[in-house]
Chains A and B, each alone.
Chain A
Amino acid sequence: MDLFDIVTPLFLSLIVGGTFVGIIFGAIPGMTATMAVAVCLPLTYSLGLNNGLALLLGLYVGGISGGLVPAILLGIPGTPSSITTCFDGHPMTKAGEGEKALRIGIVASLVGGLISLLILDLFAPVLAEFAIQFSYVEKFLIILFALSVMAALSSDMLMGIFSGFLGIFISLIGTYSIESGGNGEIRLIPPGMENWLESGFSLLPVLIGLFGLAAILEEAEKGVPESMSAKDVKIGAASTFSFGIFRNQIGNLIRSSSIGTFVGILPGVGGSAASILAYTGAKTFSKHPETFGKGEPAGIVASESGNNGLTGGALVPLLSLGIPGDSTTALLIGAFTLQGVQVGPLFIGENPRTWDAMIIAMLVANFAMFGIMYFAIRFMARVVTVPKPILFPIILMMCVIGAYTINYGIMFDVWTLLIFGLFGWAAVKVGIEVAPFIIGFILGPSAEIYFVKSLESFGDLTIFFTKSWIAIFLWVLIAGSIGGSAMLARKRRMQEAFAE
């Protein structure tokens, strides 16, 4: 009975529709799953939490999966997470096996998504149960650990750390909230801006600016490259696909999906890291590593099961600790905020129906993705030809609606969208990493409360090291992630110097 309360025709339609739209976003180079969620977020205002999440999770799964279409057919990753799919997918297309490569990628995506969903279902409640006992000290250290992991995995650790702290700093602009235990005083607001910045920058306009507007500005900077024409897309229909291809890929599928899920669990680490690690793993364990990069189906299997493995994994820290696993799940925080629901250790226990709805939505979205892409493969291949001059203005308009309606009609939120759109475009060029920045921005206010309240309660800085064995363990993890990353960077520099 309960199940049918959640699974209504509208709920299912939103998942399938969201997955379909997500695939289109993923399949068009320059557009991502994150952008799909950002643009469609305003549609959830009137849907209620469960139905809103159904739409967004469909977009998420579809967006991550759709990236394989241009990666295989054009050799251009539709999303950053399908970068390694190009390595073997496009050579197969050039050899007339495009359709076969697409079907391999679609099946691998389904398996990756389902394995990660299983891990999410089993692992998130256990982690949440464990995290309930955390005090403010451990909660602060968890945030510090999340930032250190993100910084360690950034292309430049120093810039990664700087970006995370910059995000925290900007999130502190405005009032020290009384509702969270603060004193209600304002800080960091430039003179004359008090009326607009009293509550700081709203989360959603910032996210929509960074992931919607900034992406379109980047495309505009490149001159909005023309989409392929239909006659240029060669799918290679003569190639034959059979599920027998996967007979020797069971180990690869499980390993790559697990790698993707694990990378997803690490806060702020995106799908590109998941697919690269899964691909490297598959190549390392292969009996014929020399075939990788030349049209090896195992490479597509690893890449696609790895990046779809991320989808369930990234929800683990979000739903158990309140820390987003990647930029797309950071946007899901916006959906929860809109509905007045707090994500964190208590979320699953206090919202069992929403938790069930999310698991069901992810399950249906994975099968919907498979159904849409596998059986409408020729139509999906044409998606890469959708003209950007038609799509981009609509996306820009939707970004404006999302920003304007979040606080029921405040124009400053629309200007926030523009400010952070331009910031997102410029940030990449000066080396600021957007993922640590946004996670810092989201977690900054919580970090402040946890830090200051810990000091108020205990009156001593040593409490962060002596509160419990969990605190000590978290410091070991923080030191390990930064130390490990520094060692790897040093080794890389030495290798480069040696090569020169």
Chain B
Amino acid sequence: MGSLTHVTVNFATSHLIFPTLIAGILALLGLAILITKRHAIAGSGAYWQGILSAMDRVRFLGAVALTVLYFLLMVPVGDHWPNTGLGFLICSIPYVFLTGALFLHRRGARDLIPVALTAAVAPTLVWWLFTDLFFLTLP
């Protein structure tokens, strides 16, 4: 019994002990989930189809797309004015406006004015707060 439970830890490979153990446990749990939930897993295609058909695709996918674009542009734009945080400011203004407009249900001029004002004021205020007051790096 003593030899069964005895463990010698090799320091050079000690970084693999715990990840291997956790991966083993996850595999066992995954197997248990596969067995106990096989009917639900088999019907997962229809389940996801239901989610996709019920979702507001324009707002959801639009928000994701705008966010990806925002992240992609921030650094290249910021590289034109290094260490000023202007990449963040210049990209945040249209991002806040477009996301706000995307989330609106009516897009008349009266509805868009508060969104536009927010898009102008909020990023500028936050940019000033973080760069001038807190001295934090922004893209």
- State whether A169 and B36 are in contact (beta carbons under 8 Å apart), knowing that A224-B103, A393-B95, A460-B6 are contacts in the complex: no
Q: Which residues from 1 to 37 on chain B have a C-beta closer than 8 Å to any C-beta of chain A?
A: 2, 5-9, 11-12, 14-19, 21-23, 25-26, 29-30, 32-33, 36
Q: Is the CB–CB distance between B92 and A161 below 8 Å?
A: no
Whether B22 contacts A172 by the Cβ 8 Å rule is yes
A162 touches B30 (CB 8 A): yes
A158-B36, A393-B118 given as contacts; is B22 within 8 A of A46 (CB)?
no
Residue of A whose beta carbon sits closest to that of B92: A397
**Residue of chain B at shortest CB distance from A461:** B5
Complex contact B23–A169 (CB within 8 A): yes
The answer to whether the Cβ of B55 comes within 8 Å of any Cβ in the partner chain is: yes
How many Å lie between the Cα of A280 and that of B103 in the bound state? Answer: 38
On whether A390 and B114 interact (CB within 8 A), knowing A46-B135, A165-B26, A405-B137, the answer reads yes
Chain B residues whose CB sits within 8 angstroms of the CB of A221 once the complex forms? 55-56, 59-60
User: What 0/1 pattern do residues 72 to 84 of B give for CB contact below 8 A with A?
Assistant: 0011000000000
B139–A459 CB distance below 8 A: no
Question: Judging by beta carbons under 8 Å apart, are B103 and A220 in contact?
Answer: yes
A217-B63, A220-B60 known; A187+B19 contact, CB < 8 A: yes
The docked-state distance in angstroms from the alpha carbon of A366 to that of B11 is 50
B104 at the interface (CB under 8 A from A): yes
| Contact B103 A411, beta carbon cutoff 8 Å | no
Instruction: Please tell me which one of the listed residues A46, A394, A396, A447 contacts residue B18 in the complex, with CB atoms under 8 A apart.
Output: A447
B9 close to A389 (CB less than 8 A): no
> Could you tell me the distance between the alpha carbons of A256 and B2 in the complex, rounded to whole angstroms?
50
- Using CB atoms, name the residue of chain A closest to B8: A459
Query: Known contacts A390-B100, A396-B99, A459-B8: does B22 contact A220 (CB below 8 Å)?
Result: no
Q: Mark A458-500, 1 if CB is under 8 A from B, else 0.
A: 0111100000000000000000000000000000000000000
Asked whether A401 is an interface residue with its Cβ less than 8 Å from the other chain, the reply is yes
B100 touching A460, Cβ below 8 Å: no
Nearest CB on A from B3, distance (A):
10
Within 8 Å of chain A (Cβ to Cβ): is B101? yes
A418 and B137 within 8 A (CB): no
**Nearest Cβ on chain A to B49's Cβ, whole angstroms:** 12
Specify which of A45, A185, A397, A418 is in contact with B15 (CB 8 Å cutoff). A185
| Stretch among A69-77, A235-243, A311-319, A449-457 lining the B interface | A449-457
> Once the chains bind, are A452 and B64 in contact (CB under 8 Å)?
no
Chain B contact residues: over half helix, strand or loop, or mixed? helix
Q: Known: A45-B136, A222-B56, A408-B137. Is A452-B63 also a contact (CB below 8 A)?
A: no
Are A217 and B139 neighbours in the complex by a CB distance under 8 Å?
no
B130 within 8 A of A: yes
Question: How many angstroms from the CA of A186 to the CA of B16 in the assembled complex?
Answer: 9
- Complex CA–CA separation, A188 to B5 (angstroms): 27
Interface string of B48-78 (1 = CB under 8 A from A): 1001000110011011100110110011000
A235 and B6 CA atoms in complex are apart in Å by: 68
Q: How far is the CA of A396 from the CA of B75 in the complex (A)?
A: 17
Docked-complex contact A418 and B71, CB < 8 angstroms: yes
Least CB distance, B94 to chain A, in whole angstroms? 11
- Residues of A bordering B, CB below 8 Å: 42, 45-46, 158-159, 161-162, 165-166, 168-169, 172, 176, 182-183, 185-188, 213, 216-217, 220-224, 226, 387-390, 392-394, 396-398, 400-401, 404-405, 408-409, 411, 414-415, 418, 422, 429, 444, 447-448, 451-452, 455-456, 459-462
A-B contact pairs, 30 of them (CB 8 A): A42-B130, A45-B134, A46-B136, A183-B11, A187-B16, A217-B63, A221-B55, A221-B59, A222-B55, A222-B56, A226-B105, A387-B114, A390-B100, A392-B103, A393-B95, A393-B118, A394-B118, A400-B71, A404-B137, A404-B138, A404-B139, A405-B138, A409-B138, A409-B139, A411-B74, A418-B67, A422-B64, A448-B18, A452-B17, A461-B7
Given contacts A45-B134, A408-B137, A459-B8, 10 further A-B contacts (CB under 8 A): A162-B30, A165-B25, A221-B56, A224-B59, A393-B95, A396-B67, A396-B96, A401-B126, A452-B14, A455-B17
In the complex, the 4 A-B pairs of residues with the closest C-beta atoms, listed nearest first: A176-B15, A223-B56, A409-B137, A389-B103
